[in-house]
Amino acid sequence: MERLSLLYASALFDIALKHDAVQEFLDQATYLRNTMQDAGYLRLLTHPNISALEKKALFRSVYSGTIHSDLLGFLFLTTDKNREEFILPALTALIGMIDRYHNKVTATLTTATSLNEVQAAEMKSLISERLNKTVELSLKIDPSIIGGPYVFVDGYYINWTVKQRLHDLTTHMKEGCSA
């Protein structure tokens, strides 16, 4: 499933580049993904008793004139081939490709307590500076980490939490006692 979703996303990305419409495709793919993530919408898309013609008529009535004709064509193609379940993964992959093209990443910052706006902006700036990328920051709270931040970005974890340091200290002490 992932492979076919990536193929669809790559084709859409190539079209966006060809038409010099990368930002337009990003905005519209985000809009499509957000509207289609609803569970009822997903059931409708994948329902076996709703014909491809009916689904395409729905797409045409909801999205025609709102999204790029090639994105609408992608919706029609997946419907014609009975591959509606690939729409959301392909749109998500396309959004990721465009973000990488724009040198943008999303970082998830987990802390024991909530950060104020100044602290969040400082962390965003620090992460952006270290990665040399534009960072969108997603904040989470987990009191179990006791203190310090935990960052997940671009497939990497950076753990500066008190919980991790206590774990490391305990491990080091156990290793020292058994030697």
**Confidence check: pLDDT of 69 > 80:** yes
Q: How far, in Å, CA of 151 to CA of 126, rounded?
A: 12
Question: What per-residue confidence (pLDDT) applies to 9?
Answer: 96
The bridge status of strand 150-153 relative to strand 104-111 is antiparallel
The domain over range 2-100 is classified in CATH as 1.10.520.20: yes
Q: How confident is the model at residue 178 (pLDDT cuts 50, 70, 90)?
A: low
Return the domain boundaries, the chain.
2-100, 103-178
CA atoms of 115 and 87, how far apart (whole Å): 36
Return the residue matching tokens 């014909």: 51
- pLDDT value of position 108: 93
> Of residues 13 and 160, which shows the higher confidence score?
13
CATH dotted code for 103-178: 3.40.30
| pTM tops 0.75 | no
**E strand or H helix that includes residue 58:** helix 52-63
Average pLDDT of the residues in 59-72: 94
pLDDT higher than threshold 70 for residue 177: no
pLDDT digits (tens, 9 = 90+) for 18-60: 999 999 999 999 999 998 988 788 888 888 899 999 999 999 9
Which residues face 106 on adjacent strands?
136
Kindly tell me the burial class for residue 12, based on how many C-beta atoms sit within 10 Å of its own C-beta (0-12, 13-18, 19 or more): buried
